[in-house]
Chain A
């Protein structure tokens, strides 16, 4: 152990790293801890990636292997052939998903942030009641509300349109609750100052609140995107031409054992987009990091 500590101390000295209130022994043990749990956390993802490139013979091999021996693109080629035969072109499914995801995510971020601002920073008649309602509504399970929801949608003639998926997701409380908890931290003095300059609440929202809660709404983009990207439109969208891509792909996978290889290719493709969105938005959070945190 002492050898390791000495080695780390030397490496730190060479790179001129000195950190306040941090012991080297603490650094070592915490890094080890992170690494162990990191592997535990990420390895099924490694598995998904490897599986997508395995030929059928390797998928059913015993004893099972994590890493692919003879990588092949067969699974992807098979998928392309199946998609080529589909009577609704795959591009149409992709368009449906992109429309639902983009409109839903942009709508969620703007509309729930707008509502979160007054609830976080002011008390006015009804504000406490509304905040309570929002927290408690998170706790009512969605499975039994599906039926009343369907009835409302059909009354509003939303069934079999994109809006049946988009509007409820904008009206869901998770985004508002998240934004509200971050906006509480924006210093009240900044809002007061903006008011002195004659800014309206709308202007304060857009020029003070949104820039200062950037890390929160970037997180919200990830969450909302992820939820909508995976939607199958089940129960609300029936016309084949309006169905999202994850529905089309799940139909392919459901065809049985013979599609196991294709299924792993599908899993990987569906995963790639949310992961890309995640990486792009997370690196944006980190850029804002260069400036310091919110100051009182």
Chain B
């Protein structure tokens, strides 16, 4: 398909393409159903969005081509976007590594338990992710009146004489969002790690013990981590994308716009232009920028992960 076209373009020899098809026919057939859905529902929409990012498009009139104007405006004229980028990067720099390590550490500790306890503990840690919008509970905890749990406790124990306006105070918004994000972060990567740990060949531990491995930390570094490299790479991609795309919890908890843009992220900025102002060209440019930030982060992190256990 796609590849055979490519080889035709490269070699210009249809027989060559024919040979490739003959040799790998079954592999292409296995991929085909997914490839069709993937191209139709993911690749084409993404490419369309990237094209729209070079236009001015309000969803009523036809898009008009404006070149790099959206990107230039974003980086030069849009002060709020710069706040959003700063917040997002700062947020990701804290929650990304911590959540990644948390996912691994918890799955690793759980793996030591007996099967029944392990299943239970997996559910306990995965509970926030499976609970849908259960994070809204934090709204109740940090509610600004005295009915909020945090305020009720602080009042009861006399730490404060009047309720704190949590989400209306600039200094509190960001830390609270970080706590909630970390609480939510034992998700896809965590489950992948739990499953990955069960695939580790047990005889390696016995062999390691003979070779002089003395404690659980050496076991972790020399056997477990290297055996789990594919899952670690998978988890890294997942944590990078999730820690850089925080928006919903910010909008739901801190409100939109948040006080002095303290909870403003790249994605809430995108939300603003995409759903409130209907400037799809500009919104697509924001999405494309976020995409490149993620790709760049991913390249760095993957390089670092190659060094694990070596």
Contacts and interface: CB of A to CB of B under 8 A. Distances in A.
B165 interface: no
A133 B3 CA distance: 13
A263 B73 CA distance: 44
Interface string A14-52: 000000111100100010011001101110110110000
B284 to A, nearest CB: 5
B118 interface: yes
Interface residues of B, number: 108
B255 interface: no
A285 to B, nearest CB: 6
B63 to A, nearest CB: 11
A152 B27 contact: no
A216 B57 CA distance: 42
Interface of B is mostly: helix
A170 B201 contact: no
Given A115-B31, A115-B33, A21 B20 contact: no
Contacts of A122: 24, 27
Interface string B97-125: 00000000010011010011011011111
Interface in A145-174: 145, 147-149, 152, 156, 167-168, 170-174
A119 B31 contact: yes
A117 B42 contact: no
B33 A111 contact: yes
Contacts of A137: 38, 42-43, 46
A282 B178 CA distance: 29
A182 B30 contact: no
Nearest to A126: B3
A282 B284 contact: no
Contact of A64 (B138, B149, B194): B149
Contacts of B283: 143-144
B304 interface: no
A202 interface: yes
Contact of B110 (A34, A124, A171): A34
Interface stretch (A4-12, A95-103, A271-279): A271-279
